[in-house]
């Protein structure tokens, strides 16, 4: 078992998370095994998914809050030569290191069975599933790829996980509220047709679908498209998901700031566009397989929201040389500035390749932009989810 977090004191409804990140594929090109996959479909080694899985686990262990369904377990599988994970502090338990589970098909199957069983413990449980790694699509078929894919010459597609079938097999779980995040390419490939694809469903369905089932499915990209991340860094989609959970996906119709499953997709979509890397702008759009509303996360206070300042036609490691300074204020108090003041303010404002970025609490926000040879540009924005984006032309 690869539990990296377990709170045995949680009784009644609870949240159970299963996280899988696969980067090391021994039987694909660049892998360490002499046995190579018969159908590699252009897939190679990945460095982003293990880091994506780690930061996803970090966020849930250190920040997740649900007053009705507190966090009970996080199981983490990493397909990587380094499977160590530094567990962050939570509920007074000090940070410590653990060894994660492997991410072969047998390992993922066992983890999925355990995860579904945890869901069966209470009908009001919340289940969250996350996979980051290779993926393949063809027609209505979509498969994600376990780390040992291609290792059995007699079963060349062993290691592919049939996601539509997996979702159906989860439909008889007692826990009605289920979220699935798939951070993987969905490029069309004839491998799934020519090789008579029959992938693993991970779990077994033994009864009729549970009444009131609410499955929410979030894909990192459109059908037929790729998913991206920088080498050795969390993927663009995973960063967008975690950004959204911190505030851009929140609403307070009940008087408390919460992230629900419908606003979650809206928040992810905004973050994917606003934080798009220059080389991938308008390339990767998330997609939802289904949305049914239920609460996911309760914020501890006001949402933390991004305020981005960009400049048409300028991108690179440094801001435009004409920029002298930038200042953000709320309630007549300076919140963030560029360049940084001495002593520094509580919030940072940094140049991020194509825009200045700062994160501020919800509320009326004034900013001033000072440039050489012209008067200051000043404007006010009421910073609300999902945040603010200002581009000077």
- Provide long-range contacts, Cβ within 8 A and 24+ apart, for 229-233: 229/48, 229/49, 229/52, 230/48, 230/277, 231/47, 231/48, 232/47, 232/48, 232/51, 233/48, 233/51
Note the pLDDT of residue 353. 84
- Which CATH number do you get for residue 181? 3.40.50.1460
Neighbours of 247 (CB within 10 A): 26
**Residue 364: domain span:** 304-392
The Cα–Cα gap between 328 and 388 comes to 12
Asked if 151 and 292 sit in the same domain, the reply is: yes
Note the pLDDT of residue 375. 78
Asked if 357 and 384 sit in the same domain, the reply is: yes
Asked if 214 and 361 sit in the same domain, the reply is: no
CA dihedral for 308, 289, 227, 148, sign (positive or negative): positive
Note the pLDDT of residue 282. 56
Q: Which residues pair with 380 in a beta bridge?
A: 366
pLDDT in tens, the chain (393 residues): 699 999 999 989 999 999 999 999 999 999 999 999 999 989 999 999 999 999 999 999 999 999 999 999 999 999 999 999 999 998 888 889 999 999 999 999 999 999 999 999 999 999 999 999 999 988 778 999 999 999 999 999 999 999 999 999 999 999 999 999 999 999 887 776 666 677 899 999 999 999 999 999 999 999 989 999 989 999 999 999 999 999 999 999 999 999 999 999 999 999 998 887 665 555 689 999 888 999 999 999 999 999 999 888 888 899 999 999 999 999 999 999 999 999 999 899 999 888 999 999 999 999 999 999 887 888 899 999 999 988 775
Note the pLDDT of residue 270. 93
Rg, C-alpha atoms of the chain: 22
Asked if 225 and 371 sit in the same domain, the reply is: no
Asked if 315 and 184 sit in the same domain, the reply is: no
For residue 184, give the nearest of 231, 140, 125, 236 by alpha carbon. Answer: 236
Asked if 121 and 206 sit in the same domain, the reply is: yes
Asked if 126 and 91 sit in the same domain, the reply is: yes
DSSP string, 2-67: -EEEE-TT--SS-EEEEEEEE---TTSTT-S-SS--S--TT----SHHHHHHHHHHHHHHHT---S
Which of residues 277, 298, 319 is at a domain's end? 298
The Cα–Cα gap between 210 and 189 comes to 34
Asked if 265 and 387 sit in the same domain, the reply is: no
- Which CATH number do you get for residue 308? 2.60.40
Q: Which bin fits 303, alpha (ψ -120 to 50), beta or left (φ > 0)?
A: beta
Asked if 242 and 219 sit in the same domain, the reply is: yes
pTM of this structure: 0.95
Asked if 120 and 197 sit in the same domain, the reply is: yes
User: Which uninterrupted H or E stretch holds 392?
Assistant: strand 388-392
User: Which uninterrupted H or E stretch holds 309?
Assistant: strand 304-311
Asked if 68 and 211 sit in the same domain, the reply is: yes
Which of residues 298, 313, 330 is at a domain's end? 298
Residue 296: C-alpha distances to residues 4, 71, 216 (Å)? 21, 11, 11
Domain count of the fold of the chain: 2
Note the pLDDT of residue 92. 80
Tokens of 105: 């098909």
Asked if 80 and 225 sit in the same domain, the reply is: yes
Which of residues 250, 276, 298 is at a domain's end? 298
């Amino acid at each position: 078992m690869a539990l990296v977090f377990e709170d045995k004191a949680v009784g009644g409804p609870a949240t159970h998370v299963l996280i899988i990140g696969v980067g090391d594929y021994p039987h694909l090109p660049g892998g360490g095994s002499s046995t190579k996959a018969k159908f590699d479909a252009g897939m190679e080694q990945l460095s982003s998914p293990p880091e994506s899985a780690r930061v996803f686990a970090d966020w849930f262990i250190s920040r997740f809050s649900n007053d009705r369904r507190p966090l009970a377990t996080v199981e983490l599988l990493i397909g990587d030569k380094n499977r160590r994970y530094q567990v962050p502090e939570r509920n007074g338990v000090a940070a410590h290191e653990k060894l994660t589970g492997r991410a072969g098909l047998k390992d993922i199957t066992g983890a999925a069975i355990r995860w579904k069983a945890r869901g069966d413990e209470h009908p009001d449980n919340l289940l969250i599933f996350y996979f980051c790694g290779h993926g393949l699509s063809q027609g209505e078929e979509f498969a994600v790829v376990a780390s040992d894919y291609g290792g059995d010459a007699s079963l060349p597609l062993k290691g592919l996980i049939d996601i539509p079938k997996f979702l159906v097999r989860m439909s008889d779980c007692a826990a009605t509220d289920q979220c699935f995040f798939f951070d993987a390419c969905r490029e069309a490939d004839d491998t799934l047709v020519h090789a008579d694809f029959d992938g693993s469903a991970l779990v077994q369905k033994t009864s009729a679908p549970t009444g009131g089932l609410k499955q929410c499915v979030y894909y990192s990209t459109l059908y037929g498209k790729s998913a991206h991340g920088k080498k050795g860094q969390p993927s663009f989609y995973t960063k967008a998901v975690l950004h959204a959970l911190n505030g851009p996906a929140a609403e307070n119709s009940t008087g408390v700031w919460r992230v629900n499953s419908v606003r979650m997709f809206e928040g992810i979509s905004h973050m994917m566009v606003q934080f798009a890397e220059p080389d991938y702008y308008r390339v990767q759009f998330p997609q939802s397989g289904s949305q049914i509303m239920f609460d996911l996360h309760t914020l501890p206070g006001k949402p933390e929201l991004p305020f981005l300042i960009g400049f048409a036609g300028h991108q690179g490691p440094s801001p435009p040389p004409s920029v002298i300074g930038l200042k953000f204020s709320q309630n007549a108090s300076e919140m963030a500035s560029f360049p940084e003041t001495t002593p520094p303010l509580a919030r940072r404002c940094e140049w991020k390749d194509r825009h200045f970025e700062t994160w501020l609490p919800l509320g009326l926000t004034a900013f001033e932009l000072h440039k050489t040879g012209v008067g200051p540009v000043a404007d006010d924005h009421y910073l609300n989810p999902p945040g603010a984006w200002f581009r000077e032309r």
